[in-house]
A and B are shown apart, each in its own frame.
Chain A
């Protein structure tokens, strides 16, 4: 007598449990579509076909470390003025401040958040994990352009990198070769695309396709 209703209710419970996990990709899709949250597309873009020479946009660069990550990354110029559609290169210097080999992952974010989807990177050190030897210094080039579609109200952008030390995390991942998040599985393709374009970036020593090779 109770079985049909019971079956429906149990299905509803399981469905809602699955929905909790479905929220993870949905959240990303929602942020991608709306460009909310300053989330930057983590795949290399194609060069722009059009330019808008009449317009000037200021782009500034900041970096900060998360927690005690022993890295220092600095842009050669604090700010550049660009015209939308024009390819611009900015060089960065990175240093491992610690006496051990560490792996760095930079996560970009754009402010104002609305502008995130209008900043396209062709080459970025954030596309790969960067393995750095003790006290090693590296040079990176960021190649980007600002979309001609950038809303007219926005005259200044900030590209902020947060630097993470993911050495221990990678070690942990090797103990758990299967990845529980489909999200990261989905990022394999993005990572591969990123790597093709990222000629100017030093290729990471550990080309782990699994783990955190994000976009």
Chain B
């Protein structure tokens, strides 16, 4: 073959522009939409596995006493449930949304670094394979809580801890690569005329999230590496016998851990800021203030970590500093909540399923924020620390916050992804069942927590029995309701009523200019943004 015929053949290949077929399409894909779908489906799978572990926890706690699992296995369940939900469900779901939507929202043909994009997804299943398989090994999986405090994870952990460490390393590398990709895409590949203050808020919040990821995931990698060398190579980072300090572990961990919680919620703010204007048929109230509020939250997240550690014996000045710094975060967060409410104010609101999830998000996330404020009060925290009150708080911000926003986003963009409308009836059932059961599940946890029920314990005092039975019933109902979501998603992929390009009449943004389902390649020539 001459080089000119080679070129001709090459161009012919390029002509059909479709995906490759079979498994190779998914293994070797560099297409942002394929990778976005992979991320989203993977996170759904992890959500179900992590949810299964939550079911084990709630089944054991249904009655006082030890009945179903032994305490060591219970500890593995609480630990791996946390790890899976944080690193396997919520973070990959947002990365999937970013992959799908960010290039389409800014008018770019793909992510900036498509091959790295393939890597950042495909190393992820191996991380969770390692983590989950450690559960079946002699001694079991990690049982020291997802926060892996030393010396629980060093002196008192089993030999499978190395697997946990490597799994976290891989998760960290994956999310760092994902974050780098998002930043490069947003900075370099915006369509002409897409100035910074015209960026959709989902893109803004993801840009800031990506910087948080780059700043703190390496610190997490450092922390697990120190645990690894302390446990296997005789160092003493966290061992007082060798001059180390176990409290230092908590400082390093929470220096990662607090920005991490904003990594899980800032993209949610972006999703809600996209959905609320669509179904209120009004422009988002206070766009600029949303951008500044998101940035302030991200900056403040670096100086509040020790509010997780009030009971470790900090000096008064430290406690006061971290208390006031934490409370300060409620100001930019309040700005956001007021902006969403002001967007709805006098809007012509319709209540499609994405909007229902968004409204539930606003109410219930705010509730979780208020219990966070209660926990920020140092003297009160001594009472609440390590009780179910904390469990209630972070599940309100992560389940009715982050997870509800992911559900909202999924319903909002599903017709764009699949080209079909989802079943509105099933979706409404999913929403209402989830809304009711999630509150039966998490609201009574406030009460048992305030009454002193400790978290991460497989048994409890008799006076907590009724509430725990109720909580477990809510838990099972919430868990089963999510199977409806799975049904809706797969039904929608399989077919249904055809969706138009602009699925929602109040929607704005470049993603609605392309057909539904979105073609495999979009914006090969950049659109003009006015």
Contacts and interface: CB of A to CB of B under 8 A. Distances in A.
- Asked if A and B are interacting partners, one says yes
B180 A23 contact: no
A5 B237 CA distance: 34
B521 interface: no
Nearest to B187: A5
A32 to B, nearest CB: 12
Given A2-B188, A23-B251, A9 B183 contact: yes
Given A16-B214, A37-B247, A23 B252 contact: yes
Given A12-B214, A184-B242, A169 B234 contact: yes
Contact of A113 (B113, B216, B315): B315
Interface residues of B, number: 41
A20 B234 contact: no
Contact of B248 (A15, A27, A34, A175): A27
B222 interface: yes
Contacts of B251: 23, 27
Contacts of B247: 37
Given A20-B252, A105-B242, A181-B235, 9 more contacts: A2-B188, A16-B219, A17-B222, A34-B315, A162-B240, A166-B242, A172-B234, A184-B243, A215-B243
B245 interface: yes
Interface SS of A by simple majority: helix
A66 B248 CA distance: 18
Contacts of A181: 229, 235-237
Interface of A: 1-2, 5-6, 9-10, 12-17, 19-21, 23-24, 27, 34, 36-37, 39, 42, 66-67, 105, 107, 113-114, 162, 164, 166, 169, 172-173, 175-176, 179-181, 183-184, 187, 212, 214-215
7 contacts: A2-B112, A20-B226, A36-B318, A175-B234, A176-B234, A179-B235, A215-B243
A158 to B, nearest CB: 14
A66 B244 CA distance: 14
Contacts of A13: 176, 180, 214, 217-218
Contact of A20 (B183, B221, B315): B221
B188 A187 contact: no
Nearest to A27: B248
A152 B240 CA distance: 30
B188 A169 contact: no
A166 B187 CA distance: 53
B23 interface: no
B352 to A, nearest CB: 38
Contact of A183 (B222, B241, B243, B313): B243
B223 interface: yes
A17 B216 CA distance: 8
B255 interface: yes
A28 to B, nearest CB: 8
A-B pairs, top 8 by smallest CB distance, nearest first, are A20-B222, A164-B241, A17-B218, A16-B218, A20-B219, A172-B234, A214-B243, A173-B234
B214 A9 contact: yes
A24 B248 contact: yes
A184 B226 CA distance: 14
Nearest to B113: A2
Contacts of B233: 172, 176, 180
